[in-house]
A and B are shown apart, each in its own frame.
Chain A
Amino acid sequence: MRYLLLKHYRGGPTPTVDFAPMDQWTPAEVDAHIQFMRDFATRLEGTGEFVEGQALAPEGAFVRYDGEGRPPVTDGPFAETKDLIAGWMVIDVESWDRAVQLAGELSAAPGPRGEPIYEWLEVRPFLTEAPTVAE
């Protein structure tokens, strides 16, 4: 079963720990955080559960159709109050429980003073193809 672990720049439930933005950490804390993320992905490759990971730039816009012959309407850059996705990891695991367990481990990535950042991650199951055997 495939799950999306979605990381947000902002939005989601109220943060448990209110930590400073990353550029205000020490270089060693930044390195430790990045290394944790890399090690996590490498470990999941090793267990055969990693599918892919991608990061998104903070800029962008909402776009919609505005009628025949008219250019699309854009709304953006994103307002400070809006939810903003930072990136994702797709994992292929045996169960929802395993997905939750892994998200919990990823959320323990170290921040200032090496403390876990307790970051909220959104976990979402993928809808699948229709099965071959239907009855």
Chain B
Amino acid sequence: MNESLLRELVPAVIGVLVRRGADFASAEDAVQEALIRALQNWPDDPPRDPKAWLVAVAWRRFLDAARAEASRRGRELAVEVEPPAGPAPVTDDTLRLYFLCAHPTLPPSSAVALTLRAVGGLTTRQIAAAYLVPEATMAQRISRAKRRIAGQPLDRPGDLGTVLRVLYLVFNEGYSGDVDLAAEAIRLTRQLVALTDEPEVAGLLALMLLHHARRASRTGAGGRLVPLGEQDRSRWDTCLISEGVTVLQTALARDRLGEYQAQAAIAALHADAPTTAETDWVQIVEWYDELLALTGSPVVRLNRAVAVGEADGPQAGLAALAGVDPDLPRYAAVAAHMYERAGDLGHAAELYADASRAATSVPERDHLTREAARVRQRLRP
């Protein structure tokens, strides 16, 4: 049995413990301990029924901890006997865990950590490594999050919007440590699609698949960032693209458009184009109009200006940029690109240099410095 199959069992096992009377926080701790033991023991001594093994070990852990706590307080233990296993379906348990872990009262970083542990079945150590913080810090973040949602009922539908935002955050974190967070986000979103009947969940899955398909082409030699226009499109993963497009089409057919479906539609149009020049920019602008109507987001307004520039030329792009907040990250980079295409190289070089100083990541900073250098070279006689 491999690690990912083991991890898939985690939310269901938490659900079993909760139905037996454990509170969520203690159940989740007990399952985490059982998970760590499974990771240590199963390679040499695999159980016949993995889920039953996890339930048994986690339940024992829970009882030990509950007894210790009860004796510390001088009280009787309330949950001692196993109630009969009810007919509650596993899928509902898992879905409720998504809602609880992404509870709107939690700060995003806590919701992300708790979701990865309780729904994703990752260990605290793996989550800490992925987010580059000490394990003790991550353990505290998770404990605090659980205290914050203590007493929240586990049997009510929650806010799907915050769940999707949490999964989107995990996906965007990409890759560091031994856990591929983008792949993990896709797995969790795929699972959520099976548990819900909401086209926006499928829209988010399609968006992730279509972006994941381009991953290999996004970084060049020495870790340098390769922008969309320069990517080697033969390296795009056509299987992921066709899956993403199929998922998106099914979602769009439901005729309940939302922001993730609209973003996925834009990603699908890029995936469909053999080159930047052959991209259907006019349709992309239309999707950005939809997206802007749905979200009113300033970042969408900026991206729309990029698409307008490609569809109708740099002057139209600069006109569209006039209505965008210049304090946005990437504003200077977008303006630089348009001024370069409009032939104003001096202005473009200055803006690329400004953009590199405002960059929020090293690959982005290096890329923009290189762009400034490239435009300045064109300026020299």
Contact = CB atoms under 8 A, between A and B. Distances in A.
Is the pairing of A and B real? yes
Interface string A1-43: 0000000000000000000011111110111001100100000
A27 B377 contact: yes
Nearest to B223: A38
A25 B353 CA distance: 11
Contacts of B358: 57, 59
Interface size class of B (residues with CB under 8 A): 20 to 34
A58 interface: yes
Contacts of A31: 222, 370
A55 interface: yes
B370 A27 contact: yes
A25 B373 contact: yes
Nearest to A55: B362
B376 A34 contact: no
Nearest to B365: A55
B232 to A, nearest CB: 18
Contacts of A55: 362, 365
Contact of A57 (B349, B360, B373, B374): B360
B357 A24 contact: no
A59 B376 CA distance: 25
Main secondary structure of the interface of B (DSSP, over half): helix
B330 to A, nearest CB: 14
Contact of B356 (A23, A34, A35, A38): A23
Given A55-B362, A57-B360, A23 B372 contact: yes
Contacts of B349: 23
Nearest to A21: B353
Interface in B216-240: 222-224
Interface of A: 21-27, 29-31, 34-35, 38, 55, 57-59
21 contacts: A21-B353, A22-B373, A23-B353, A23-B376, A24-B372, A25-B373, A26-B373, A27-B370, A27-B373, A27-B374, A27-B377, A29-B373, A30-B366, A30-B370, A30-B373, A34-B224, A35-B222, A38-B222, A55-B365, A57-B357, A58-B357
